[in-house]
């Protein structure tokens, strides 16, 4: 399934880039506040980070696409409540996130972003205590909405990411869905 998604995204990006009026490439890093909604998880956002690369592809004046590839680390803690594990387990999940965002340039320096994101769990092979190997699915679909301010080569962004899929891989548990608030900076390198 992951191969099909990556192949589809690659094909879509190839078509987009071939029709681009302008192309900008850059790097970015930022802070993430992550909350996993579910009965077992503690409420509130936990701080973590993300870093990666982006492309801005302007297609028709104010309209464009912004594909990205990001390494994101999310952290949370939940109450296992079993005799073999402690009551509270801290979980760190490393994701390769691939958002493909629609861009609308509201003003010369302000851009609105909206679109889907697929994240692939990178550390699924670690133990249950390390990241919940058998507790979390290998991928997640999410919706992304945000705003970006760009001044010359500098980009400052804020986003909200809402998980659409259940990331729990444990039968007969409540649904686990992630939510993120992201803030960060980017720099155009090309």
Q: Where are the domains of the chain?
A: 2-188
Tell me, what's the pLDDT at 140? 83
As a whole number, the mean pLDDT across the chain is 80
> What mean pLDDT is predicted for residues 87-110?
86
Dihedrals phi, psi of 42, to nearest 5 degrees: -70, 145
Answer with the residue of higher pLDDT: 91 or 38.
91
Instruction: For the chain, give the percent of residues with pLDDT over 90.
Output: 43
CA 67 to chain CA centroid, nearest Å: 12
> What mean pLDDT is predicted for residues 66-94?
73
**SS3 at position 39:** coil
Query: 72: how many CB neighbours lie within 10 A of its CB?
Result: 23
Non-local (6+) Cβ contacts of 26 within 8 A are 53, 54, 55, 56, 153, 155, 186, 187, 188, 189, 190
State the fold for domain 2-188.
Porin (2.40.160)
Tell me, what's the pLDDT at 130? 47
Residue 132 confidence class, pLDDT cut points 50, 70, 90: very low
Q: What is the pLDDT of residues 66-75, one digit of tens each?
A: 999 999 988 7
CA atoms within a 13 Å half-sphere pointing along the CA-CB vector of 126 = 12
| CA nearest to 99, candidates 21, 30, 19 | 30
Answer with the residue of higher pLDDT: 25 or 175.
25
> What mean pLDDT is predicted for residues 172-181?
77
Between vectors from CA 49 to CA 74 and to CA 103, what angle results, nearest 5°? Answer: 100
**Contact in structure between 184 and 30 (CB atoms under 8 Å):** yes
**SS3 at position 17:** helix
Answer with the residue of higher pLDDT: 179 or 111.
111
Task: Dump strand ranges (E) for 80-109.
Answer: 88-105
Tell me, what's the pLDDT at 124? 54
**Contact in structure between 134 and 94 (CB atoms under 8 Å):** no
């Amino acid at each position: 399934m992951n191969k099909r998604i990556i192949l589809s995204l690659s094909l879509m990006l190839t078509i987009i880039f071939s029709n681009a009026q302008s192309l900008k490439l850059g790097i970015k890093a930022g802070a993430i506040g992550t909350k996993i909604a579910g009965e077992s998880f503690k409420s509130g956002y936990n701080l973590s980070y993300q870093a990666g690369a982006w492309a801005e592809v302007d297609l028709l004046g104010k309209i464009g696409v912004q594909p990205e590839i990001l390494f994101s680390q999310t952290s949370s803690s939940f109450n296992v409540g079993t005799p073999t594990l402690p009551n509270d387990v801290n979980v760190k999940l490393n994701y390769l996130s691939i958002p493909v965002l629609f861009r609308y340039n509201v003003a010369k320096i302000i851009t609105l972003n909206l679109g889907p994101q697929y994240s692939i769990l990178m550390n699924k092979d670690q133990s249950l205590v390390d990241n919940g190997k058998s507790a979390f699915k290998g991928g997640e679909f999410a919706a992304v909405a945000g705003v970006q301010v760009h001044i010359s080569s500098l980009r400052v962004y804020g986003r909200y990411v809402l998980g659409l899929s259940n990331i729990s891989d444990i039968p007969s548990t409540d649904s686990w869905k992630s939510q993120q608030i992201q803030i960060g900076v980017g720099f155009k390198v090309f």
